[in-house]
Structure 1
């Protein structure tokens, strides 16, 4: 079972649940908001116990 995290879209502010593939390790990818469809940059870091820490940003925040 993949861990999930709840984030807020940096554009519309809506809460979105992301499933994190913890088998990959640290990662950075773009996922469209499920509400407003704008691209969100997602950065995932896993701690020693494989618990995800997720930060998100919009295009203008890069």
Structure 2
């Protein structure tokens, strides 16, 4: 099942939404910002009550 997550781009600061699949467990992936198109490194962590999505500039 996919969930909608809202996050802030670490490059331009704009907020945007993305779909995440927490049923697959923890994951690291890269997605481009929907506003400035720069790459964002995302870390999905599954926790007891849902998930946590962290976003950093891709290094």
Q: How high is the TM-score relative to the length of structure 1?
A: 0.85
- Unpaired runs of at least 5, structure 1: none
Shift, 1:59, TM fit: 2.6
Higher strand share: 2
What is the RMSD computed on CA atoms of the aligned residues?
Answer: 1.3
- 1:7-58 CA distance string (max 9 Å, x none): 0000111101111112210000000000100000000001134x11010000
Give 1:1-62 correspondences, 5 Å limit. Answer: 1-49=1-49, 51-60=50-59
When the two structures are aligned, how many residues end up with a matched partner? 59
Aligned partners of 1:17 and 1:26: how far apart in 2? 19
